[in-house]
Structure formats: C-alpha cells, structure tokens
Structure 1
Amino acid sequence: MFSHKVRLICLIILLSGCSKQLDIKPEVFISPEQLYKDEAGVVAGVTGIYRQLLILKRSDYAIIGMVGTDEGKTTIFVPTWGPYWQGFSAVNSYSPLMTGQNDVVQGFWSVSYKGITNANLAIKYIAKAPVNEALKNRCIGEAKFLRALFYFYLVQLFDGVPLPTDADNPDADRDGYPRSKAEDVYKLIIEDLQFAAVNLNSKGADGQDPGRATKEAAIALLGKVYLTRKDYANAKATLAPLLTATNVSLMSKYADLYVEANENNIESLFEVQFSNETDNTSNMANNTGCWQINSPGLSGAGGHVIIPTDYYYQSFADDDLRKDATFRTVFYDSNGNLVDYSWWADVGKPHVKKFDITKGISVSGSLSSRNMYYLRYADVILMYAEATNELNEGAAAVENLNKVRHRAGLADWSGSIAQADLRSEIMMERMRELGFEGWRWFDLKRTGTLLDSTKAHNMDAAPNMLPKHLLYPIPAKEFENNPALKPADQNEGY
C-alpha cells in the first residue's frame, strides 16, 4: 500500500567496513531533520533507500519479471498450498486471482512506493544539509537513481501511476496524488538518471562502497529506459561509452558470475546486496529449489516454487557453456545421495541453479546471503545490439551479439542477417544470457511479444492470458488510501 501520510521519520541504516556489500543494520526511526544534519546522517539516510530494493528482491515479489513468461513458471504444486499461494501462482498463470487484491501485486507496489517516499525525503533534506557539494550531489544522485529504478518498475507494470516527487506535503496527505500519465513518469525517470549519471562515482573509484549505485549503472539503466521507449538513437548514444569503458567488462567464464565469492565483479554494474545478518537474507535459493543440503560440494534438491519452462531449457544448444551454469538436472537428497526425480512432475524437471548457495556462507536456502544481479555488462552489450539493429545497423548489432555468444562457446554469426531474424535472435540471446535475473517479462512487453510468446510456451498461462495482462491491476488498497484515485483509474479489464 502506498500511504500518502508522509511521516517525519526515516530509516537509519549504518555502514560498516564490509568489503562485500552495503551492511544494512536494524532500523531506527528519527525525523529527517535529525538524520540529515551531517555527513554521516546523509550517507546513512541514502543507504536506507537501498533497503527497500533489498525487500523487493529478497521476497516473493522477486518472481515478478521471471514467471508468467516463456522463461519461468510456478510448479504445479504451488496452488495446492493455500489461498496466498494461489494468488502467488496467479502471477504466472494469469488466473482470475490476478486482481487488485493479489498479495504479490500489492506488495510490489507498496515496497516500491516506500522506496520512492524515502528517496523523496533524502532528495529534499540532503539539498539543505550542511555538507560539501560533491557529497551532496553524489548522495542525491543515489536517491534519484533508486527513485528512477522504482518508478521504472511501476510504469512498465501499471502504466501511469501516482507521481509523488515531494516530501512532507500536507496537501497531498489530505488529498492524495492523482494517476499521472506514463509519459510524465518516464520524463521524471529520465531526468533522475541523467542527474545520477553526471554525479555518481564511477565503478571502482576510491572510496566507492560495493553495492552503491555508480555512474555506469545509471548510464545502463538510462539506456534501458530509452530502449523501452523505442528511442533507439538515444539508447545507442547513451550506452556507447560503456562499450569502451576500461572499468567494466565481461567475466571470462559465465559460470563464475554465480559464485558467491565473485559478487560485485567487473561485469556487475549494480546488484542487490544480501548478507547473513538478520532480515538481510534472500529466499531465492529456496524459491528455485536450490536450498543447501548437508553434503559439501553438492548443489541441492529439486522441487519447489519456480522453475524454467521447457522452452527456456530447450533454447540452449548442447555446447552452450551457459547451459550447465544455468540449470541443474541432477538432484540429491538431504544426505547427499543421488535421487531420480524424473517420474515426479515438475520436481524432476531442470531447475535454475544461478542462486545455489555456498556451504558455510549462507545459513539455508530461505536465508541466503547470495546477491542478486540487477544490471550487468552483458545486458548492456545486448541492449546496444538491439538498438543498433532497430537503427538498421546490422553489422554493429551482430558484432556485439557475438561478444556474448563467444563467451558462451558458440560460433559467431556472420554475413548479412535480416533485421527481423536478428531481432528474434537478440531476444533469444537475452533469455539465455539473463534468464531468471528478472528481465524477461519486461523484455517481452517491450518488444510486443509478451502475449504470443507466453501463450505459446507457458502452458499455465495459455488458457487465461488476455490483452489486459500487458498491465498489472492497480492494487485495491491504493484506491482505499489515495483519495485522488477514482474507480475509472483502474487498468482496463480489471
């Protein structure tokens, strides 16, 4: 739920010297005036915004973007676990429970707006804080990057949404915020990311904490926004400098991307930081059936909540080096004994192992310290290939597509390829390269293929999916709490 009662409190989240990530501590509530009074408060206040992204990605809301696509699905068992799980499964199947009352939809909306509210507070009070201009602009840049990230999720999922950009506004507290046009939401997103790209530290800069937004992350996200808007010229121009940057590159081995010791690596542009501290863990290992077992060196059990579609698994050639790094087809019981689950419906199907946990680091599959990628360099390369292909620059598109294929051990594409064929191949390559990293739903929607491809390759969604499912329903609680919204503001069909 997005509450319009902006409270004069803010999260204090302190930093430690941890080299792995931002160290998110328990919440303490004080007024913004008390918090943003010095350099330590400014930095801590901005760090608090990151916590909302952690909450968004540590929980069941992380399935948004993965399931309900041609890439991922919930298992057949999920709807049998009770009412909550039936709603959870509806995000994949688009069943009649995909409504404004759906808990996953409402939770995603609520957490996103809490992040936006915290960002608005930070932007307002940092501007008045007695700190040097460089720190002030960097921290405002982080707040604007995160505000843009949350709004980008919301506008893609819901189209136009309420657009608060202020804080401590008594009029809005009373009257609420009306639904804005999508164009206005995108305008703010672009402005925020342009500011961030100028004012954030570069990746690897002295004193740059792993986990904080960087200039390169802002540029990559801005390029993705332009691509989503089909502004291919600006997407190309925005992303181009990253292709020649010296502080980012592809990891030499794809499998190394999913080793916990390699988090915040040269390819990572921005990732969500998890740890073993209380309330800072992720449940994605459990959701994907990668929970830890007792025997060291073994990769886990089968089962559980979300799995690849057959189409996603079968899209990989046998000699694609990403296939073994992405999927687990061999399973063990809790004692480390090999188990044949081939007879057992979804349990025996290939599972994603990108979130496998490392024994001795994560507590368990539901209490995992594994980070989660939001943006990485391979995504930039493929976005650039897509933009150049849409600009009829096929040679440049193929050149960049081949960079990703080369690491995967695949033969280069050569010769002239028709634009439509290359468009399809780039989308397939995005699925193979970025699968279960949260982008598939948005990629399919951006390219106008969400309905057709999901209905063709996700049998749970096929009977139910309608044109209205190109958008999510605005949560029912938002209508209860926002006086500026009227029933007619609900997305069509809901």
Structure 2
Amino acid sequence: MKKITFIIITIISLSAISPGCKKLLEVKPQSSVTDEVFFKNESDFEPYVTGIYTYMRLFANNIVYGTERSEELVAALNSRFGVSWSQIITPSSGAINYNDWYKAIGHCNLLLKKIEGFSFAANPDTKKKILAETYALRAYFYFHLTRVIGDAPLMLAAVEDENVPLLPRSKAVDVLKQVQSDLDLAIQNFTSMSGFSKTAYPSKYRFAYGSAMALKADAYLWNAKVLGGGDADLAAAATTITEVEASGLTLNQDYKNVTGVRAATNPEVALAAYFQRDEAGGNYGVNALPYLTGVDGALNLDKIPYAQTSANGQGAYQISPKSRALFTNPDDKRIPYTWVTEMQASGPKISWITKYPGNIYADGRVSDNDLIIYRLSDIFLMKAEAYAGLNNIPLAIEYLNKVRQRAGTGVYSGSVVKVDVELEILNERGRELFFENKRWYDLVRFHKGGTIDVYKYVPNLVGKTTPLFWPLNTTVFANNPNIKQTDGY
C-alpha cells in the first residue's frame, strides 16, 4: 500500500509542476508515467482505485468549504480563521484553484479508460466493483466541487497526452446530471455482481451500494432546492433513501459511539474517511482540541479533550453561541459529545468541541478519528427534509423523531406549518451533525428553499453580499482562457 501511494503521489507531483518551468517540456504526460507502473495487468486496477480514495479523504478533511462559512464556529485560544469565516471573499482574496478536484477526476477518467482493455474473465465481479467505486468517486468529486464553485467544467475523457481540452464551465444543473449518471453506473455495476446484497459494506471506507445511494439522495436534495429540480427530485431523494434504509445500517444506541467507534465496526456509518495515527497528519479535529497549557487550571480538566502539546491540539475553534443555542433541551444526550465548557475559578471560559475527541495514547491525545461522510441519522434527516419539501408533514415529523428519540429530547410537538417544520429539521441537523462538515451546504439548501435567509442567519454574512459560491483564482484563467469567473465576482 505504501508503494502504491508513493507512486500515485509521484504522478500527482509531476502533473503539478509549474507551467513556467522549462523542465515541463521534458515531463511525460500523466498517463504515460502511470503506464510505466500501472495498467500492465488486471491486478493493477484495485490498488489504483484504492489510491484515489486519498482524494476523498483530502476533501472530507477540509472544512473551509463545508463548515467555516457557516455559523458553527468562533475563535478559541489560537484563531486561524481565514476569508471563509469572515466572508470577505474576493477574486484576490480567497479565490480557489480547482486543481486538486481535477487531479482526482483525472485519475478516475484514466482508470475508466484503461480498464476497457481488460476482460477480467476469471473474475468479472472484480471489474464491476472497481468500475462501481470509480464512478461513485467521480460523482463524489464533481458533487463536492459544484457545491463549492457552482458551474464547473465537465472533463469526462482521460487525458493521455499533453493536449488537455480547454473546457468552459458547464452549468451546475448539467454537473448534477453527470453526478446522477455516474451514480447510476456505479449502482448498475454493484447490483450486477454475483451474490449482490444491499446490506453488504465490504469496507466503510470505500463506496458500496448503500453509500452510493446516500450520495445520490444528497445530490437529489441539492438539485431540488438549489437548482430548481423541485418536487420530482425531492420525491426521488425520498425513494433513494428508502434503499439506504434497506442497507442494514442501524443507529448507535449511545450517541458517544457515533464518532467514538471506528467506522469499520460502526453500525451507523455508511461511508467515512479513514484516519490512523501518524499516517495522514491528523484530521481537522486537531484545530478544535485544546492544548494542556491553554486549559491549565480548569476545574473540569478531566472533562476537556486536551492534547499534551499544540502539535496535537491547536485550540483554534470552539462551538459558537448560535450553535449552542440550538440545544434547547438541557437533557439532550448529545451535549457532552458535542461540547464542554471550560470552567475556571473565575467562571466559564471556552466551550471546547468534543465531537471528534481523538484517541489517547501513551504520549497523549491524537486527533485520529475517522471522519464520517454519511451516517444513518443524517440519512433520516435528509428524508425528513425531502418529505417536508413535498409538504408531507406527518412523514417529515416521523423521520425527524427517529433522530430526536435517540437524543432523548422527545417527539416533536411544535408547529406543523411547512416552513416551521423545515426550520426544525435544519435546527436538528445543526444539533445532530455539528462539526461534521455539512453545515454550510445545509444552510445553502435551506436558503435556496426559502426556509431561512442565510445573509441574516450567519453572523458574518449580515450586511454583506458575498456570493454563496467561490471565485476562481488567476491561475485557472491563465491555464484556460475559456473559463469565466463565478457569478457575482
């Protein structure tokens, strides 16, 4: 595995060499370099697709786009917020280069092209599994990208020489159509395998039928509310989620096990990004863990998930007052596993996030929890959202209550007016999924769906007109004159 990872990183490094460097003319195209070590035998494809999952982890571990633009976080001891949190995003400050996304997509395209020449006659299921995962990964990368920048170039062909197509941005609605098409192909390949079972999750760190369906439902919700897909996509989301429910996932009885139990043996998790101590530099939870000297003197030190040094706990974030205020029931069982307020002799101080507490080793705490991408309570709340959008309030409340009951907050007894139920679902997502890198995307959906005004909801957006999608930086335009800037910049 280390050899495979090294080779892929080497290929990626070659593809990232500056265009201004004379040596670039001497570098072989990515596919030529890859062909020297991969795609010689059928056995080369499995490790190659395994390597592509490092990109899924990369994006799952970046909270700039999914969390920092939301209301969830404020500074703690050692603030490291940037323009995403301040919402001061301009073409010269915070503009992004989408290179990493297209590297990931490029690897998918290359694998899909190269595998055509291999029959896998002795084990056709292996080919189907590889194809299914690769299509699901490409769908994941495009879905992640379009939620960040909106319209995006649709590169679907393998780049096998130095002639890279200079594609314009495709409309976001067309990107979502491609996401759904790729997921249809993924599901088709999964279901055509001999001995197929909906309940099979060979690895919670790789796509399976259930997690592909979860992504499909997520994409339907986005298309329904953000891109105008309406009732048809809401209904499709609900139907798709029924398939996820049939995949054998069950809620953890104890909320602490949501992140406290590794995804591999976690009955609630459909898909997660794998982390292991010292393997990938830790997950984003490192920014939320305090360091010991920063909480010295705390009267409840034993309740605070501190690291011994700032290398393993950087003390940058705490839960915001607005997110804490969502927890209106003091008996909510999720509170201890969401945050703990540091108590000093002078009174309460910082409210430290406990969602991803890491694990304690002989030399102290390390932020190495698996990062959850999809889990069952998230799926339940997606279905509640879809039903509420369809004005099927009884079913929306039924699925809302599946989450509330584990939390110990009782059944929902508030207003049954559509917009009020939708707001309660958004609030429940804020409680249940805090710090799971979903909040900004939730806010955009509910803003576009008319439940909230995100420009009044997020404190740092009040009084601003910053677009919901990110601008592209000058490197993108220098490399491709057919690209236009994101609307609003």
Shift of 1:363: 7.2
Q: Are positions 1:42 and 2:42 aligned together?
A: no
Deviations 1:192-242 (A, max 9, x none): 111222323757638x23411111001011011111111111111111122
Distance in 2 between residues matched to 1:54 and 1:292, nearest whole Å: 28
Q: Is residue 467 of structure 2 the alignment partner of residue 469 of structure 1?
A: yes
Q: Which residue of 2 aligns with 1:232?
A: 234
Task: Specify the alignment match of 2:480 in structure 1.
Answer: 482
The equivalent of 1:402 in structure 2 is: 401
Offset from partner CA, 1:28-69 (integer Å, 9 cap, x none) = 5452364123343111010111111222334xx323211221
The alpha-carbon distance between structure 1 residues 77 and 283, as it changes in their structure 2 partners (threshold 3 A), is same
Change (3 A) 1:136 1:145: same
Query: Cα offset for 1:129?
Result: 2.6
TM-score with structure 2 setting the length: 0.81
Question: Using the alignment, how far apart are the partners of 1:24 and 1:193 within structure 2?
Answer: 29
Question: CA offsets per residue over residues 69-116 of structure 1, 9 Å max, x none?
Answer: 1223455953xxxxxx5xx52101112xx234446x536x33222211
Q: 1:92 aligns with which of 80, 85, 97?
A: 85
Q: 1:492 — aligned with what?
A: 487
Q: Relative to 1, partners in 2 of residues 1:238 and 1:76: Cα closer, same or farther, differing over 3 Å?
A: same
Instruction: Decide whether aligned partners of structure 1 residues 75 and 455 sit closer, same or farther in structure 2, where only a CA change above 3 A counts.
Output: farther
What corresponds to 1:179 in structure 2?
169
1:382 offset after TM fit, Å?
A: 0.7
Return the letter of the residue paired with 1:199: N
Query: Counterparts of 2:42 and 2:271 in 1: how far apart (Å)?
Result: 24
> How many angstroms does 1:296 deviate by?
8.5
Looking at structure 2, the residues matched to 209 and 151 of structure 1 have their Cα atoms a distance apart, in angstroms, of: 22
Matches within 5 A, 1:55-74: 55-58=58-61, 61-74=62-75
1:133 CA drift (Å)? 2.8
Q: Distance in 1 between matches of 2:204 and 2:339?
A: 28
Contact map agreement 1:66 1:438 (CA 8 A) in 2: yes
Alignment partner for residue 103 of structure 2, among 114, 117, 131?
A: 114
By how many angstroms is 1:379 displaced?
1.0
Q: Could you say what the CA RMSD is over the residues aligned between the two structures, in angstroms?
A: 3.1
Alpha-carbon contact 1:151-1:185 (below 8 Å) kept = yes
Match of 2:286 in 1: 286
C-alpha distance 26-137 of structure 1, shift in aligned 2 (>3 A): closer
Secondary structure, in 3 states, of the residue corresponding to 2:361? coil
Q: In the alignment, does 2:121 pair up with 1:128? A: no
Residue identity in the other structure for 1:351: W
How much does 1:371 deviate? 0.9
Correspondence 1:291-302 to 2 at 5 A: 299-300=305-306
User: Match for 1:156 among 147, 158, 164?
Assistant: 147
SS of residue paired to 1:351: strand
CA distance in 2, matches of 1:432, 1:66: 14
Q: 2: distance between equivalents of 1:375 and 1:26? A: 26
SS for the counterpart of 1:282 is coil
Change (3 A) 1:457 1:404: same
- Matching residue's letter, 1:239: I
**One-letter code of the match for 1:127?**
E
* Pair 1:223-2:214 in alignment: no
DSSP 3-state at the match of 2:187: helix
Q: Does the 8 A contact of 1:362 with 1:369 survive in 2? A: no
* Matched-pair identity in %: 28
Change (3 A) 1:140 1:244: closer
What's the offset of the Cα at 1:25?
9.1
Partner of 2:99, secondary structure, is helix
- Mark the CA change 1:296 to 1:428 in structure 2 (over 3 Å): closer, same or farther: closer
Once residues 220 and 24 of structure 1 are traced to their aligned partners in structure 2, the CA distance between those partners, rounded to angstroms, is 31
- 65-74 or 146-155: bigger deviation: 65-74
Greater displacement, 318-327 / 48-57:
48-57
**Which residue is equivalent to 1:382?**
381
* Counterpart Cα distance in 2 of 1:50 and 1:191: 20
Residue of structure 1 equivalent to 2:28: none
- AA paired with 1:232? L
Matches within 5 A, 1:450-465: 454-463=454-463, 465=464
Question: Which sections of structure 1, spanning at least 5 residues, go unmatched?
Answer: 1-11, 16-22, 79-84, 332-338
Shift in alpha-carbon separation, 1:183–1:453, aligned structure 2, 3 A = closer
Q: Distance in 1 between matches of 2:44 and 2:388?
A: 46
> How far apart in 2 are the matches of 1:372 and 1:192?
24
Q: Which residue of 2 aligns with 1:248?
A: 249
Q: Judge conservation of contact 1:161–1:180 (CA < 8 Å) in 2.
A: yes
Residue 306 (1) aligns with residue 307 (2)? no
Q: How far apart are the structure 2 equivalents of 1:363 and 1:146?
A: 35
Distance verdict in 2 for CA 1:75–1:434, change over 3 Å:
same
**Matching residue's letter, 2:377:** A
> How far apart are 1:289 and its partner, in Å?
2.6
Question: Residue type matched to 1:326 in 2?
Answer: T
1:451–1:403 CA distance, 2 compared to 1 (3 A): closer
From the superposition, tell whether residues 123 and 70 of structure 1 become closer, same or farther in structure 2 (CA, over 3 Å): same
Cα pair distance change 1:210/1:315, threshold 3 Å = closer
Paired AA for residue 110 in structure 2: L
Question: Offset of 1:458 from its aligned partner?
Answer: 4.2
**For each residue in 1:369-391, what CA deviation from the matched residue of structure 2 results, as whole angstroms up to 9, or x when unmatched?**
22101111111111111111222
Alignment of 1:192-203 (within 5 A): 192-200=182-190
Q: Cα offset for 1:417?
A: 1.3
Structure 2: any 5+ residue segments left out of the alignment? Answer: 12-32, 191-195, 225-232, 308-312
1:416 deviates by 7.4
Contact 1:474 1:490 in 2 (8 A): yes
- What secondary structure does 1:407 align onto? helix
Per the alignment, do residues 313 and 362 of structure 1 end up closer, same or farther by CA in structure 2, a change over 3 Å counting? farther
Distance 1:242 1:205, change over 3 A: closer
Q: TM-score, normalised by structure 1?
A: 0.80
CA deviation map 1:119-175 (0-9, x unaligned): 1111111222342432112111111111111111111221111111111255852x5
Change (3 A) 1:299 1:26: farther
Distance 1:415 1:423, change over 3 A: closer
Q: Deviations over 1:377-407 (max 9, x none)?
A: 1111111111112222211111111110000
> Number of paired residues?
440
CA pair 271-401 structure 1, distance change in 2 beyond 3 A: same
The 3-state SS of whatever aligns with 1:350 is strand
* Whole-Å separation in 2 of the counterparts to 1:452 and 1:399: 22
